[in-house]
Amino acid sequence: MHWKLKARLQWLLGHLPGGDSMHYHLQRRFGGLRDFNREFDIKLEDWKIMLSRLREAGFEIPGKRLFEIGSGWYPTFPMACHLAGAARITTVDLNRHMKPSLVLACAERLGGALDLISDASRADPVQVRLRHADMLAALRDSADLSAATGGTIEYRAPLDATCTGLDANLFDCIFSNSVLEH
């Protein structure tokens, strides 16, 4: 789909009553949610590339405070950063898209990538596995994302990343993935 048409359609859906539900169903039928596993794998590969670029700049994820612009439908980057040992991840989106079923599916799929996450982030594999087990158990028990990650991930939506009201020195790194197209 042409990016300008897609942007207009998403803007329209964001302003219509019931537009969020329509947007979700369109994504499931025609968009990135049509093949969750494929889309997830692409996002995880993007996360790995981001870590590589950050490392080239002398930045490591463990212990850092991160800010993601554009949470999307499920939190691949924040969850992977949590598993890698980030101290805090705040993720924001203009529209509240995340659904518990997709968050859980993301966490379950991350279970098959724990070695990749520990290798890419240079995090202790035992700690990565423990964080994943705790997060997955909490999500399966209906915990929200913040509770499931011990408060490490904070999801704020709706929120405009250009005017959050958050302190400018609160984060060590700001990132986004697949946002400019929107």
Alpha helices in the chain (DSSP H): 3-15, 19-30, 36-56, 76-83, 100-110, 114-121, 125-140, 145-148
- pLDDT at residue 13 in the model: 62
Tens digits of residue pLDDT in 170-180: 999 999 987 76
pLDDT band of residue 126 (cuts 50, 70, 90) is very high
| Residue-wise burial string across 136-166, b where 16 or more C-beta atoms lie within 10 A, e elsewhere | bebbeeeeebeebbeebbebeeebebeeeee
- Tell me the pTM: 0.85
- pLDDT at residue 8 in the model: 72
Tens digits of residue pLDDT in 11-47: 666 776 776 666 555 565 666 666 778 889 999 999 9
- pLDDT at residue 85 in the model: 97
Cα separation, 40 vs 58, in Å, equals 27
Domain boundaries of the chain, sorted by first residue: 1-34, 35-176
Asked if the model's pLDDT at residue 52 lies above 90, the reply is yes
Query: 116 vs 4, which has greater pLDDT?
Result: 116
- pLDDT at residue 97 in the model: 84
- pLDDT at residue 72 in the model: 86
